[in-house]
Amino acid sequence: MTTENHLRHVQSLPVFPSGAGNIPRLNAVILGEALASEENDFVFPSPEFSRNAHVSSPSEYSDMYKRSVEDPSGFWGDIASEFYWKQKWGKEVCSENLDVTKGTVNIEWFKGGITNICYNCLDRNVENGNGDKIALYWEGNDLGFDDSLTYSQLLEKLANYLKDVGVKKGDAVIIYLPMLMELPIAMLACARIGAIHSVVFAGFSSESLAQRIVDCKPKVVLTCNAVKRGAKVIGLKDIVDAALAESTKNGVSVDVCLTYENKLAVSRENTKWTEGRDIWWQDVVPKYPSTCDVEWVDAEDPLFLLYTSGSTGKPKGVVHTTGGYMVYTATTFKYTFDYKPSDVYWCTADCGWITGHSYVTYGPLLNGASCIVFEGAPTYPDAGRCWDIVDKYKVSIFYTAPTLVRSLMREGTEHVTRYSRKSLRVLGSVGEPINPSAWRWFFNVVGDSRCPISDTWWQTETGGFMITPLPGAWAQKPGSASYPFFGVQPVIVDEKGKELEGECSGYLCIKHSWPSAFRTLYGDHERYETTYFKPFPGYYFTGDGCSRDKDGYYWLTGRVDDVINVSGHRIGTAEVESALVSHPQCAEAAVVGVEHEVKGQGIYAFVTLVEGVPYSEELRKSLVMAVRSQIGAFAAPDKIHWAPGLPKTRSGKIMRRILRKIASRQLDELGDTSTLAEPVVVEQLIALADK
């Protein structure tokens, strides 16, 4: 869709319900009233919310968006000037080539600008008088254990220790830590001295950790001895020991393993130790000065390396640089959540994923926000834990994954409604498309029908939000990511790469770069080009399918490789899952494709029922009928597989690779299941395969 057509759609939208009668066949719903049943209802922010929002109307968004795509240098240059730069960038704000047919793919923003993201997160806030403001509230796994750090206190001593053991600008540091405050502290310490941090989610196996150590060859590994996750103790140091032994066999040795003693999980006396390599964090770090000189870096110097694991092959090391990432994450956080200095913000993601980088650590701290860092499980000791935390800290912005929303839906509303939640102002969704029924429950039950939902679409590779509602401007549609963020130019193309106009479905691509775009894959620029830029030359290919409706709203349909081709019909797994979850007795569903001798591919659905609902043949037929009636007979699942639970990582991501193997009965090819929150789920699914 051209910029002109996109803006025409935006400008045609009414701001408040007084104009809603101009929209044919759509009911308008004001935030504060119950949602109607139609999936295409517009949901408007209240006039009061919009009046106080950073972007208060479609027309205001339209003006800003138009400038951002017609004059990106001016638009982003003005925003970047609000940050601290030791030296301003050169003549060009941006230079790019996304077309593989015209040479090497290359993206640069603010090249020549000298800055430091840690300085902008911490020192700048202290200098602006916010040194005593709480930067991080830490909530432990067990009730009653908590802590906090101000912006002044976050200027921690770890950076000096890292320098003292030989970590220099450009060196890699692996961070394998749970959600203790030491995790964001470690990220900021690396950024302060120009080291490249690579956070590995503390749920990955020793084999996965070893792969990453071998690839980036870190000077230091940072970890802790153990962590409690719910009632379970996980020995992280044992995993690190095994990984370091494996990496040494592969020619990469690490001389320093700095280990934080997490006394709430395991004492140091019960921790295995390698003298000379292993160092207790508490024994050395407190001895260093609390002030550390800043290593000033170029905007295009690497900030961090984050590995994304494919179902096969070597993990991809996504490289994000400093300047553009800093400007974009800060800006997206401010506008997408309508952030105000009085807000208390909680993102439930782990810093082992991109969401924890951009929207637990950097985006919020660049805005001077007070953030929650939560160590535990959202359903421990019971399903009301999230709302207990919301009330305890007066959380006003709550950002989580649809998977968590659906799992809490399954537990029932009483776990939500026994808490006040009056502090909530904005809700957010991340990680996958949120189906309309989950959106409504999140909106009606959690947000009391008054909190807009920022349903964000973005990726590890994009660094920040790409398509998302702006809560004060948008007439929202449940389940739609709405419109692009400033500077982002999405296009939907067909299989030949032709841009499609108006209402359509196809492959989602982005034309032109944005400040936080990833610059390469670590040590493999050829794979970077082949995976993301060769499929459709001139565009960044997201790998996602997407539909655009007649009002210009974008609907993500899932990964293109999660499209099932049934008798020539291309069906997004997300569509079938959404239809299944709309059934009142279905709590969650995950759909995969399996080989079918007649149709080419068949639809295989794993279904988790609402608590207390028994399996029955009648219910199985009812679920199939729900899909037939919502999508069509061609989309009816060939198999409903009862699932007491789904295999998920501890961040809530469903491991579809495992589901495909179970569906295809390739049980000897399940691979590594150690990253699952509940590995026993796999055995349960196998046992129920023919029920």
> Catalytic residue numbers?
561
Residues 232-269 as b or e (16 or more Cβ within 10 Å = b): eebbbbebbbebbebbeeeebebebbbbbbbebbbeee
- From residue 428, alpha-carbon distances to 68, 400, 507, 577, 679 in Å are 24, 6, 25, 20, 28
308 φ, ψ (degrees, to nearest 5): -110, 125
Q: Are 413 and 422 in contact (CB under 8 A)?
A: no
520 φ, ψ (degrees, to nearest 5): -170, 175
d(CA 130, CA 342): 12
Q: Are 424 and 393 in contact (CB under 8 A)?
A: no
Taking each helix axis from N to C end, the angle separating 236-249 and 206-216, rounded to the nearest 10 degrees, works out to: 50
Question: Which residues pair with residue 415 across a beta bridge?
Answer: none
Q: Are 468 and 482 in contact (CB under 8 A)?
A: yes
Alpha helices in 31-118 (DSSP H): 47-51, 58-70, 72-80, 117-118
Output the DSSP codes for 115-137: E-HHIIIIIHHIIIIITTSEEEE
- CA-based nearest residue to 494, from 462, 534, 459, 535: 535
Output the DSSP codes for 656-678: HHHHHHHHTT-GGG----TTBS-
Taking each helix axis from N to C end, the angle separating 680-687 and 656-663, rounded to the nearest 10 degrees, works out to: 30
**Residue 229, token pair as written in the block:** 């996750």
**Residue 459, token pair as written in the block:** 């990726």
Q: Are 158 and 185 in contact (CB under 8 A)?
A: yes
- Quote the distance between the C-alpha of residue 147 and its chain's center: 25
- CA-based nearest residue to 257, from 271, 270, 266: 271
d(CA 353, CA 118): 19
User: Largest alpha-carbon pair distance within the chain?
Assistant: 74
Q: Are 607 and 576 in contact (CB under 8 A)?
A: no
Tokens 């295009």 sit at which residue?
A: 300
Give residues with Cβ within 8 angstroms of 433, minimum separation 6.
402, 457, 479, 481, 555, 556, 557, 558, 574, 578
For the chain, helix, strand, coil in percent to 5 are 35, 25, 40
* Distance in Å from the first CA to the final CA of the chain: 47
Give residues with Cβ within 8 angstroms of 91, minimum separation 6.
none
Sign of the alpha-carbon dihedral angle for 121, 122, 126, 129: positive
Bond prior to 381 in cis (omega within 30° of 0): yes
- The angle formed by the CA atoms of residues 159, 163 and 169, to the nearest 5 degrees, is 95
Give residues with Cβ within 8 angstroms of 265, minimum separation 6.
224, 225, 226, 227, 228, 233, 234
